[in-house]
Amino acid sequence: MKGKVLLYASEIMQGDLKSVSFSKLRRPTHTKKGALLLIQQNPDNLKRLTPRLKNNKTVVLSSIDKNPRTFKYAGEKAKNELDVASFAVERYPQNVKEVGNKLRASKDYRDLVKLALSKNGKLLKDFPEYQNDEEMVDIAVTNNSSALEFANERFKKNPSFIYKHASERSFTLLNADKSLIKNRNFIKKVVSENPVTLNILPMYQNDIEIVEIAILSEPTVLKFAGLEARANKALREFVVSHDLEGAMPYLISKEELERLKNKRKDKKINSEKEETEKE
């Protein structure tokens, strides 16, 4: 639909512009031809046009094409045109909040919201009526794992839902219910599918079993493990016995562990000292 709408607007606009000179227009803001010229100069000029021209599909589509945010200046009739609204939301998802009241009350509005969430999942925050809608939440979280923050609590506690999304987007776990994060068996399952999740699970970064599961899938994620795990003798033997070359550079000796610990300790002391001096 988007391609046809844009082509339609482009063809008409090009024909109009060929047949008119801006300098010859007496009332440029009151004719479609003049309006198109003004839009070409600056799409924000849509707000200066007469109500009739603000509802002209060609003029509105041309403005949206140059700057999608100008959809808010369109007339109510244009905002209720499904193809115009779809084009506007496709180009700038936040435009779903500018849709006309008639279209908002129609069955087509749900599809517009779905389109918006597929482009910007965090818009779920602005649609409480869909925060308990599985299809909508799924679309939103698929686009942006942070959208889970605005979903109904039942999704945050649902192992199947969280596993599905965390397997692809590790940051989904940041908004998952704590009961799932504390479930080692659940975390083992997620880490085996998406080992990078180890990076956002500090409570498991020194858990040898979970680190082993992670590096079996992707050896280089050992860099996300805790210092104690990386210096652990049993883990070193595991890496060697499974020939996990990608993990080798991230193993450290006991001496290196102590050196790094002392370095962290000194850094913390210096930081606290600086804060005290500031006070």
Residue pLDDT, tens place only, 175-203: 999 999 999 999 999 999 999 999 999 99
Q: Using CA atoms, how far apart are residues 69 and 47, in angstroms rounded to an integer? A: 12
User: CA 181: distance to chain centroid?
Assistant: 23
Per-residue pLDDT, 94: 98
For residue 56, which of 76, 78, 84 has the smallest C-alpha distance? 78
**Domain check: are 112 and 170 in the same one?**
no
Same domain? 110 vs 200: no
Question: Same structural domain for residues 111 and 125?
Answer: no
User: Quick check: 52 and 76 in contact, CB under 8 A?
Assistant: no
Q: Cβ distance 79 to 60 under 8 Å?
A: no
Residues 176, 153: contact at Cβ < 8 Å? no
Structure confidence at residue 4 (pLDDT): 52
Residues 168 and 198 in one domain: no
Cα–Cα distance between 161 and 129 in angstroms, integer?
A: 20
pLDDT of residue 258: 77
**Domain end point (choices 176, 197, 212):** 176
Are 82 and 137 part of one and the same domain? no
Question: Quick one: 153 and 104 in the same domain?
Answer: no
Which of 119, 137, 163 is the C-terminal boundary of a domain?
119
Q: 31 and 63 share a domain?
A: yes
* Number of domains into which the chain is organized: 3
Q: Within this chain, do residues 125 and 163 fall inside the same structural domain, yes or no? A: yes
Closest CA relative to residue 126, chosen from 152, 94, 156: 94
The whole-angstrom separation of Cα 163 and Cα 75 is 45
What pLDDT is recorded for position 83? 97
Of 10-14, 40-44, 108-112, 156-160, give the lowest mean pLDDT range.
10-14
**Residue 265 DSSP class:** H
Tokens 């008639």 map to which residue? Answer: 102
Specify the amino acid at residue 243.
D
Same domain, 68 and 109: yes
Which of 74, 103, 119 is the last residue in one of the domains? 119
User: 112 and 25 in one domain?
Assistant: yes
Q: In this predicted structure, which of 99-113, 115-129, 130-144, 265-279 has the lowest mean pLDDT? A: 265-279
Co-location of 115 and 133 in the same domain = no
What is the CB neighbour count within 10 angstroms for residue 175? 17
Nearest Cα neighbor of 82 from 100, 69, 64 is 100
Give the span between the Cα atoms of 256 and 251, in whole angstroms.
10
Q: Do residues 159 and 180 lie in contact, with contact meaning Cβ atoms separated by under 8 Å?
A: yes
pLDDT at 161: 98
114 and 129 together in one domain: no
Checking 32-37 for CB contacts under 8 A at 24+ apart, the result is: 32/56, 32/58, 32/59, 35/59, 36/62
Are the beta carbons of 39 and 63 closer than 8 angstroms? yes
Give the domain extent around 157.
Answer: 120-176
Model confidence at 24, pLDDT cuts 50, 70, 90, reads very low
